Every structure is written in C-alpha cells, then in structure tokens.
Amino acid sequence: MSGPRFTALAASLPSTVPFVGPEVQERARGAAFAARLGANESGFGPSPRAIAAMADAAADSWKYGDSESYDLRTALAEHLEVDMNSIVVGEGIDGLLGYLVRLLVGQGDAVVTSLGAYPTFNYHVTGYGGTLHTVPYRDDHEDPDALLTKAREVDAKLLYLANPDNPMGTWHDAATVQRLIDGLPDGCVLCLDEAYGEFAPDGTLPPLDTSNACVIRMRTFSKAYGMAGARIGYAITHPELAAAFAKVRNHFGVSRIAQSGALAALQDQEWLQSVLTRTAAAREDLSDMARQAGFAPLPSATNFVTIDCGEGVDRAKAILDSLSQAGCFVRMPFVSPQNRCIRVSVGKERELNLLRVELLKQK
C-alpha cells in the first residue's frame, strides 16, 4: 500500500514544532510542574467578567462563532479609535501570522527577521516556502537599522519585529519604530508584533495609523488579558490588507466562547490595570531574586524576565534542567549569544517562592 503523497515542500521540512508545550514535558518527566513559569501566560487569570461570559457562552457552543467577530471588532474599533474594517480577529497572533505569511510569501520569497526572534513566525515562513534572512540582535535588542538594511538588500516582501521583544523582554521607543516604518522599501510589509504592548512603558508604541497598507500590528488576549487558552488575537492594518485575510483565513476558526470572553475582557479595563500592577511587582521580585542568586536580569517591558546566567549556553542549560527537575517550568532563548540566558514568566507568590529557593541553589 502506498503512503500519502506529500508536497515536495512538506516532505522536505523537519518534524519540529516551535515550542514543546509544558504538558508534553510533564508527560515526559512523569510529573506536573509546581511552578508554570515558562510560557508567558498570565497566572493571574482572565477578568472574572470574561470567565462568566465564557461560561454563559458555553451553553451556545453548539453554534459556530460569528464568522466576522462583529461585536468584538466593533468594540475593539471603539477602544482603539480606528475603523472596524481595519481589524482582523484570528486564532491568536500565531494564527494571524500564518494567514499573513500565506497572503504574502511564496516559494523563495525573501523574509527578514532577527536571529533568535519569535520562532513561530519562522515556522510559518518555512512552511510556505519562504526564504528567511536574519540579522543579529544588538545589545540584546532587535536591531531596526540592520533589519531595514537587510530588507532593502534582499527585496523582502515581509519584515518582522516584535516590540517589546520575545525572548529578551527589551524594547524600542515609538520614535525608533516609526523610523523603521518610514524607511520601509517599496512593497515590503512590516509585521509589528505587539503581543506584550500592554506591559510596555508609555512612549513604546507608535500611534495607530491605518492609512499605511504596508504596516500590520498584531495584538492578543493571551498575555495581559490572561486568555492564552482561548486562542484569540487581532491585527490592526489598512482596510485593504485586512480584507485580504478573508481570502485565506478559517472563517469559523475563533469560537463563540473565545469571542464572548474577549469582548468581556476588553470591557473590564479595571481588571487589566490590576494585572499590569501585579505583573510589574512580580517582575521586580523576579529581578531581585536573580540578583540575589548572582545573575543579571535584563530590563523588561513584558510579563517575563530574561536572566543572564553569565557563562554561556552550557551554564544556562544546566540551570534550566535543574529548575525543571525541581518542578519549575522555564525556557531559554534558542540562539547565541541570547542562549546564555533563561527566560522566566511572572507568576503568583507561591510559584515565585519555589523558584527563589531553587534559583539560589545555583549561586
């Protein structure tokens, strides 16, 4: 019996995923993690209003979700002061990245990103046959000038920048990002990943401008809003590019439950502010314990802290393995020189206390 006839591209791809989930690791180790601090989720959870809205919507889960996410897009448009036709809702930023790459990237098309930046973006580019061109970080920051130079050099169709950045937690101010936007070569679309934008200090995000069809900004309910498991995010862009998503997206990909929860979460800005306050305090606590253990925490505008272990990848990997064995799930960057670090998400006091005990053992 013959097997499936994969496309040449699919057959050439390695059997890898961008991230190995904590549940997968728990099954491999035969025990649950006591401190889940590796996936940049919000341990503070969603708004109670969002939880109630999702519970109410569960009774109607026999229905498909609204294929246009009309109510949520209307609310987002009002909140952001943009036209609702400039907003696309999708299955988290990961899903939206896949659609964007599908729209823009064909076999051999040039795409520019930072070496060691968000690997799920790379996964989509490779999966559609694009050619990745990378530039190194500079002082643990993505390098907008180098990204722009490379985009011009290779005639890139798509350029990716996360601000604030994952995995380093660093950020650029709005003026720097605006210079990148203003300098884009003709026909190059900038994907500005703002998943951590709610955590960033004032002056980090440029004002929204949906008049430029070559800029798309992606945001999510996974991080500050605490709804990572619901898989819902959104993009803000020119109406022409937003409309193009309808050609390729899964029109019923965002569930009724997720849409209801996101709408309620957006309407509870008081809860969001409380999460931001608790995140800032936990981030400072993480930084303090890193310093107590003799390590160097990087400044962060996210819900995680990247910790410089100081002695290269072997030392960082040993610390990560030790923490994992003790029940603390954390991650580390994949690429040198960033892989001298570990990356730890903020968490509740109980989790941070366990981490403190184990981290101090590494001193």
> pLDDT (tens digit, 9 = 90+) per residue, 112-161?
999 999 999 999 999 999 999 999 999 999 999 999 999 999 999 999 99
Residue 333 lies in a domain: yes
Alpha carbon distance 139, 141 (integer Å): 5
Alpha carbon distance 236, 232 (integer Å): 14
Q: What is the pLDDT of residue 215?
A: 98
State what percent of residues in the chain have pLDDT above 90: 97
294-323 confidence digits (pLDDT tens): 999 999 999 999 999 998 999 999 999 999
- If asked whether residues 28 and 80 sit together in one domain, one would say no
- If asked whether residues 240 and 349 sit together in one domain, one would say no
- If asked whether residues 60 and 193 sit together in one domain, one would say yes
Query: 218: alpha, beta or left, given left = phi > 0 and alpha = psi -120 to 50?
Result: beta
> Which amino acid is residue 240, in one-letter code?
E
- If asked whether residues 67 and 94 sit together in one domain, one would say yes
Which residues have C-beta within 8 Å of that of residue 234, sequence separation ≥ 6? 72, 73, 76, 87, 88, 89, 90, 96, 218, 219, 220
Cis previous bond, 164, omega within 30: yes
Inform me whether the pLDDT recorded for 2 exceeds 90.
no
- The structural domain count of the chain equals 2
Residue 5 lies in a domain: no
Which residues have C-beta within 8 Å of that of residue 311, sequence separation ≥ 6? 340
pTM: predicted TM-score of the whole model, two decimal places: 0.96
* Cα–Cα distance list, 102 to 105, 121, 246 (Å): 6, 12, 12
Give the mean pLDDT of 17-34: 94
Q: By the 8 A CB rule, do 112 and 156 touch?
A: yes
Residue 2 lies in a domain: no
Give the mean pLDDT of 20-27: 95
State how far Cα 286 lies from the chain centre: 20
Q: Residue 43 has what DSSP assignment?
A: T
What confidence tier does 352 reach under pLDDT thresholds 50, 70, 90?
A: very high
Mean pLDDT, the chain, integer? 97
Q: CB 26: neighbour CB atoms within 10 A?
A: 15
- If asked whether residues 76 and 191 sit together in one domain, one would say yes
- If asked whether residues 297 and 178 sit together in one domain, one would say no
Inform me whether the pLDDT recorded for 334 exceeds 90.
yes
Give the mean pLDDT of 220-239: 98
- If asked whether residues 246 and 322 sit together in one domain, one would say no
What CATH number is attached to the domain comprising 170?
Answer: 3.40.640.10
What CATH number is attached to the domain comprising 295?
Answer: 3.90.1150.10
Query: Positive or negative CA dihedral for 210, 229, 338, 168?
Result: positive
Rg (alpha carbons) of the chain, rounded to whole number:
20
**Which of 141, 137, 201 has the alpha carbon at shortest distance from 169?**
141
Q: What is the pLDDT of residue 311?
A: 86
Domain termination site, one of 245, 267, 289: 267
Torsion, CA 135, CA 92, CA 126, CA 24, rounded to 10: 100
Domain termination site, one of 247, 267, 287: 267
- If asked whether residues 258 and 280 sit together in one domain, one would say no
Domain termination site, one of 267, 290, 311: 267
Inform me whether the pLDDT recorded for 62 exceeds 80.
yes
Q: What is the pLDDT of residue 164?
A: 98
- Structural domain harbouring 348: 19-45+270-360
- If asked whether residues 136 and 191 sit together in one domain, one would say yes
- If asked whether residues 108 and 35 sit together in one domain, one would say no
Query: 212: alpha, beta or left, given left = phi > 0 and alpha = psi -120 to 50?
Result: beta
- If asked whether residues 274 and 261 sit together in one domain, one would say no
Residue 166 lies in a domain: yes
Q: CB 293: neighbour CB atoms within 10 A?
A: 19
Residue 4 lies in a domain: no
- If asked whether residues 70 and 128 sit together in one domain, one would say yes
Q: Residue 178 has what DSSP assignment?
A: H
State what percent of residues in the chain have pLDDT above 70: 100
Residue 168 lies in a domain: yes
Q: What is the DSSP string of 99-143?
A: HHHHHH--TT-EEEEETTS-HHHHHHHHHTT-EEEEE--BTTB--
Residue 14 lies in a domain: no
